[in-house]
Chains A and B, each alone.
Chain A
Amino acid sequence: GNSVTQMEGPVTLSEEAFLTINCTYTATGYPSLFWYVQYPGEGLQLLLKATKADDKGSNKGFEATYRKETTSFHLEKGSVQVSDSAVYFCALTSTDSWGKLQFGAGTQVVVTP
């Protein structure tokens, strides 16, 4: 079956530091990959996506590249802000499970001034 593994948190950073959150996956079919973000007390917001190998998703300074050879989709941001403090989820959906997102455990990121 499909699965997503992401690095455990919490990740604590100072403002303007570089952020990387590792995500690897196993999947049947042809997965699409996503990063979602959850702020306290809220639902999930899509941060970025990539639907085929070598695609790069980007949004709000965050980037992730779909690497089929390493089955990875690592999230990066060059300079974090306090407002980036949240929980980040890597997720996938694939051709044999349309409508079902398989999530990683989530990584809490704390950015201090």
Chain B
Amino acid sequence: KAGVTQTPRYLIKTRGQQVTLSCSPISGHRSVSWYQQTPGQGLQFLFEYFSETQRNKGNFPGRFSGRQFSNSRSEMNVSTLELGDSALYLCASSTPISGNTYNEQFFGPGTRLTVL
């Protein structure tokens, strides 16, 4: 079974531009979560989508947005890029199960965004 794929793997943008990152989850997974990883702040949760609906959102400005399509693929968009948005953006997918037990999240390789 193919893993989580993210495209592109590397991006270089300039301040003020916008960027769209793509994530294809593992087949059959309906939940997609996004994280930002930086040396200073570590791994921070951006948002999570399930069946095309955003269920959870982290503490990021409105410049960060996302969406999920009917095939569970997800995109995140960052508008008006700032230098501080330079980071590794990780996508993860999972399948929910009932009760108090959660399936683990499977991560993609990430998209390395550099803002100049």
Q: Which residues of A contact B (CB under 8 A)?
A: 30, 32, 34, 36, 42-46, 49, 51-52, 89, 93, 95, 97-106
Contacts and interface: CB of A to CB of B under 8 A. Distances in A.
Contact of B56 (A89, A97, A103): A97
Scoring B33, B43, B94 by chain A CB atoms within 10 A of each residue's CB, the highest score goes to B43
B73 to A, nearest CB: 16
7 contacts: A51-B100, A51-B102, A98-B102, A100-B45, A100-B48, A100-B58, A106-B42
A43 B109 contact: yes
Interface in B26-45: 31, 33, 35, 42-43, 45
B108 interface: yes
Interface of B, secondary structure class, is: strand
A98 B102 CA distance: 8
B7 interface: no
A101 B42 contact: no
Nearest to B42: A105
Nearest to B46: A100
B70 interface: no
Nearest to B110: A43
Contacts of B101: 32, 51-52
Interface pairs A-B: 3 shortest CB-CB: A99-B48, A103-B43, A43-B107
Interface of B: 4, 31, 33, 35, 42-43, 45, 48, 50, 55-56, 58, 90, 92, 94, 96, 100-102, 104-110
B109 A42 contact: yes
Contacts of A100: 33, 45, 48, 56, 58
A37 to B, nearest CB: 11
B113 to A, nearest CB: 14
B5 to A, nearest CB: 11
A30 B45 contact: no
Contacts of B48: 98-100
B13 to A, nearest CB: 21
Nearest to A104: B42
B33 A101 contact: yes
